[in-house]
Amino acid sequence: MKAAGLGLRRLYTITFPTPRPEFIGRDDVLFELILDMDGTFGGMAEEAGPTSTVARTYRLDEAARAISDFDREHIVGKLVVLI
Protein backbone atom coordinates (compact mmCIF):
# COMPACT_ATOMS: atom_id res chain seq x y z
CA MET A 1 0.00 0.00 0.00
CA LYS A 2 1.25 3.50 -0.74
CA ALA A 3 2.16 5.76 2.13
CA ALA A 4 -0.43 8.55 2.29
CA GLY A 5 0.77 11.63 0.42
CA LEU A 6 4.39 10.46 0.18
CA GLY A 7 4.33 9.04 -3.35
CA LEU A 8 6.80 6.62 -4.87
CA ARG A 9 10.08 5.99 -3.05
CA ARG A 10 13.31 4.93 -4.74
CA LEU A 11 15.78 2.33 -3.51
CA TYR A 12 19.09 2.26 -5.35
CA THR A 13 21.23 -0.86 -5.46
CA ILE A 14 24.60 -1.79 -6.92
CA THR A 15 23.89 -5.53 -6.84
CA PHE A 16 22.44 -7.62 -9.61
CA PRO A 17 19.78 -8.83 -10.02
CA THR A 18 17.71 -5.82 -9.02
CA PRO A 19 15.44 -6.68 -6.07
CA ARG A 20 11.73 -7.01 -6.77
CA PRO A 21 9.05 -5.10 -4.80
CA GLU A 22 7.59 -8.35 -3.48
CA PHE A 23 10.85 -8.95 -1.59
CA ILE A 24 9.81 -6.24 0.85
CA GLY A 25 6.04 -6.42 0.41
CA ARG A 26 5.58 -2.80 -0.68
CA ASP A 27 4.29 -1.31 -3.90
CA ASP A 28 5.46 2.24 -3.18
CA VAL A 29 9.16 1.46 -3.70
CA LEU A 30 10.92 1.56 -7.07
CA PHE A 31 14.19 -0.39 -7.23
CA GLU A 32 16.88 0.98 -9.52
CA LEU A 33 20.21 -0.63 -10.41
CA ILE A 34 23.23 1.68 -10.60
CA LEU A 35 26.38 0.52 -12.38
CA ASP A 36 29.61 2.49 -11.98
CA MET A 37 31.86 0.44 -14.24
CA ASP A 38 34.57 3.11 -14.36
CA GLY A 39 34.67 3.63 -10.59
CA THR A 40 33.72 7.28 -10.95
CA PHE A 41 31.65 7.27 -7.77
CA GLY A 42 33.38 4.40 -5.97
CA GLY A 43 36.97 3.48 -5.47
CA MET A 44 36.51 1.38 -2.35
CA ALA A 45 37.57 -1.77 -4.20
CA GLU A 46 41.15 -0.51 -4.17
CA GLU A 47 40.93 0.05 -0.40
CA ALA A 48 39.06 -3.06 0.63
CA GLY A 49 40.34 -5.54 -1.92
CA PRO A 50 38.16 -8.06 -3.69
CA THR A 51 36.02 -10.17 -1.38
CA SER A 52 33.14 -12.53 -2.00
CA THR A 53 30.65 -14.15 0.31
CA VAL A 54 29.56 -17.66 -0.59
CA ALA A 55 25.92 -18.05 0.37
CA ARG A 56 25.53 -21.68 -0.69
CA THR A 57 27.34 -24.44 -2.50
CA TYR A 58 25.76 -27.11 -4.69
CA ARG A 59 27.01 -30.37 -6.16
CA LEU A 60 27.02 -30.56 -9.95
CA ASP A 61 23.93 -32.77 -9.88
CA GLU A 62 22.15 -29.92 -7.99
CA ALA A 63 22.90 -27.28 -10.64
CA ALA A 64 19.23 -26.99 -11.62
CA ARG A 65 18.34 -26.28 -7.98
CA ALA A 66 21.05 -23.59 -7.84
CA ILE A 67 19.51 -21.86 -10.84
CA SER A 68 16.03 -22.12 -9.33
CA ASP A 69 17.24 -20.72 -5.97
CA PHE A 70 18.98 -17.84 -7.76
CA ASP A 71 15.79 -17.02 -9.67
CA ARG A 72 13.31 -17.35 -6.79
CA GLU A 73 15.19 -16.15 -3.72
CA HIS A 74 16.92 -12.93 -2.74
CA ILE A 75 20.40 -14.31 -2.15
CA VAL A 76 23.10 -12.32 -0.41
CA GLY A 77 26.40 -13.76 -1.61
CA LYS A 78 27.43 -16.12 -4.37
CA LEU A 79 25.91 -19.44 -5.29
CA VAL A 80 28.69 -21.88 -6.18
CA VAL A 81 28.27 -25.10 -8.15
CA LEU A 82 31.11 -27.49 -7.38
CA ILE A 83 32.45 -29.51 -10.32
Residues 7 and 40 in one domain: yes
Task: Write down the pLDDT at residue 11.
Answer: 75
43 in the Ramachandran plot: left (φ > 0), alpha (ψ -120 to 50) or beta? left
Residues 42 and 80 in one domain: no
With 0-12 CB in 10 A as exposed, 13-18 as middle and 19+ as buried, what is 51? exposed
Is residue 1 over pLDDT 70? Answer: no
Question: Cα–Cα distance between 74 and 39 in angstroms, integer?
Answer: 26
Q: Which range of residues forms the domain containing residue 3? A: 1-50
Name the pLDDT band for 58 (thresholds 50, 70, 90): very high
Residues 34 and 69 in one domain: no
Name the pLDDT band for 3 (thresholds 50, 70, 90): very low
Question: Cα–Cα distance between 63 and 40 in angstroms, integer?
Answer: 36
Q: How many domains, in total, are found in the chain?
A: 2
Name the pLDDT band for 10 (thresholds 50, 70, 90): confident
Residues 9 and 45 in one domain: yes
Residues 4 and 34 in one domain: yes
Please write the tens of the pLDDT for every residue from 15-52: 677 777 777 777 787 877 777 666 666 655 565 556 67
> Do residues 80 and 58 touch, judged by C-beta distance below 8 A?
yes
According to DSSP, the residues that pair with 33 across neighbouring strands are 13
Residues 41 and 57 in one domain: no
Residues 39 and 9 in one domain: yes
